Amino acid sequence: MDGGVSDQELAEAILLVGRAMVAVDVRSLSAADHEITLPQYRTLVVLAHLGSQRLADLATNLAVSPSTTTRMCDRLVRKGLITRSRDTLDRREVNLCVTKERRLLVETVTERRRREVEAMVGSIPARARSELVSSLQLLSQAAGEVPAMGSDPGNRSNPAPGGGRSTEVVTAGNGGPDGDQSERLRPPSG
């Protein structure tokens, strides 16, 4: 026990805040153009922040099994929210990426969440804010959380979609694994 607060008391306080934040998330998502679940939104956030990911890496970043990630990504592809890309150097690898148009969805929902949270924290006294921010940053780091869109990701890399490698886009119904109707993308310049 440190500072008079037990691990159990701290965990209970975090769970209470977690419930409040889930409510904020649900309200923010309900105003979105698409029907999207919280796990699907989290997937979009990770892909939007970290860029193109191999399925196995995305599963690791989401802390779910590859089969769960595959099913979720199948739904997101059908909704037109992400694309699948075959790596042209290793055709066994499939990369997943948020579509450019749907990156806006992530940004819009994130901004709605930010506005609601800012309204919520308006009642927190100024003298308590610095310590609260430090504590929340420590908690986020301990949880391995991805920084919010637009924030400084610290020591995490933010690779460009496709990882700078040439890829072929394979979307639902355009050739599947053969990629016979896929369009070729060039690696990002810059």
Picking from 96, 95, 88, the residue whose alpha carbon sits closest to that of residue 166 is 88
pTM over 0.85: no
In tens, the pLDDT along 62-113 reads 999 999 999 999 999 998 899 998 877 888 888 999 988 788 889 989 999 9
Q: What secondary structure does DSSP assign to 54-75, as a single string?
A: EHHHHHHHHTS-HHHHHHHHHH
| Eight-state DSSP code of residue 84 | E
In tens, the pLDDT along 141-175 reads 888 876 655 454 343 333 333 333 333 333 333 33
d(CA 48, CA 104): 10
Question: Residue 45 has what pLDDT?
Answer: 92
d(CA 150, CA 53): 19
- Domains of the chain by residue range: 7-148+159-185
**Architecture category of domain 7-148+159-185 in CATH:** Orthogonal Bundle (1.10)
Picking from 61, 65, 41, 39, the residue whose alpha carbon sits closest to that of residue 50 is 61
d(CA 147, CA 171): 28
Picking from 5, 10, 8, the residue whose alpha carbon sits closest to that of residue 138 is 10
Q: Would you call 5 helix, strand, or coil by DSSP?
A: strand
Q: Would you call 118 helix, strand, or coil by DSSP?
A: helix
d(CA 167, CA 185): 6
